Amino acid sequence: MSLTLHYHPLSSYCWKVLIALYENGVPFEARAVNLGDPAARAAYAALWPTAKIPLLVDGDRVVPETSIQIEYLDRHHPGAVQMLPDEFEAQLEVRLWDRVFDLHVMTPMQRFIAQQLRPEAERDAATLTGTVNDLGLAYDLIESRLGDHAWAAGDAFTMADCAAAPALFYAAIVRPFSPAHVKLNAYFERLLARPSVWRCIVEARPVFQYYPLRHALPARFLSD
């Protein structure tokens, strides 16, 4: 099999690409990366120097960065679900929402988790407060701009929704949505009902024990 995804089942960014792969039933090898092992990390960094996950390898071609990976799959391994629409303005809308979820939801969520990985005495209170506040601002933005269509960028499931699902899954554990976020709450439930998204959650269950906020995971994500 020529298509390989180097990943970790807990990683939100890995979920983003896995969802795109699962949506279209693309055959691939999922190869878990142990970045805590120096030899494994060095071998992985030889593929792409940043040693970030996920990394997509297609034969001799190495494809980094999740949005690029999904666009690459859409072009070279297409399926029934088109991740980028044909029309240029519609593409811009998908890319905008992709950036919103990556930069304004995923990034503050990950900064918060990074603090949780430190000893409690070494955690920065200002960073923790700032990231939670940033998530609140992002939720308000999403709520105000979602519109009445089913998915982030319109009536079709796209790359934007691949980004949204893992970002919102983990962010909602850091800062739950408020009752005022009616559209956001409904959108998140639609994402969870998507088989590709739920599959990522189920596959992560054996390693949720290593997630720093495992005590705050809702019960519905731990068992069917």
- Amino acid symbol at 41: R
Confidence of residue 152 (pLDDT cuts 50, 70, 90): very high
- Tell me how many degrees the CA angle 81-222-195 measures, rounded to the nearest 5: 15
Mean pLDDT of 99-119: 98
- Is the pLDDT confidence value at 146 over 60? yes
Mean pLDDT of 195-216: 97
Confidence of residue 22 (pLDDT cuts 50, 70, 90): very high
151: in domain: yes
Query: What's the pLDDT score for residue 2?
Result: 87
- Three-state SS sequence of the chain: CCEEEEECCCCHHHHHHHHHHHHHCCCCEEEECCCCCHHHHHHHHHHCCCCCCCEEEECCEEECCHHHHHHHHHHHCCCCCCCCCCCHHHHHHHHHHHHHHHHHHHHHHHHHHHHHCCCHHHCCHHHHHHHHHHHHHHHHHHHHHCCCCCECCECCCCHHHHHHHHHHHHHHHHCCCCCCCHHHHHHHHHHHCCHHHHHHHHHHHHHHHHCCCHHHCCHHHCCC
Q: Which residue has the higher pLDDT, 84 or 35?
A: 84
How far is CA 191 from each of CA 84, 150, 164, rounded to the nearest angstrom? 18, 10, 8
What's the CA gap between 117 and 222, in Å, rounded?
21
Residue percentage of the chain with pLDDT more than 90? 96
Domain that holds residue 125: 88-194
Number of domains in the chain: 1
Query: What's the pLDDT score for residue 1?
Result: 54
**Domain of 92: which CATH number?**
1.20.1050.10
- Is the pLDDT confidence value at 164 over 70? yes
219: in domain: no
111: in domain: yes
213: in domain: no
Mean pLDDT of 130-151: 97
CB atoms within 10 A of CB 43: 12
* pTM for the whole structure: 0.96
Query: What's the pLDDT score for residue 66?
Result: 98
Mean pLDDT of 24-37: 93
| Mean model confidence pLDDT for the chain | 96
Rounded to a whole number, what is the distance in angstroms from the first to the last CA of the chain? Answer: 32
- Is the pLDDT confidence value at 17 over 90? yes
52: in domain: no
129: in domain: yes
125: in domain: yes
Residue with tokens 């691949």: 162
β-pairing, 55-58 vs 61-63, is: antiparallel
21: in domain: no
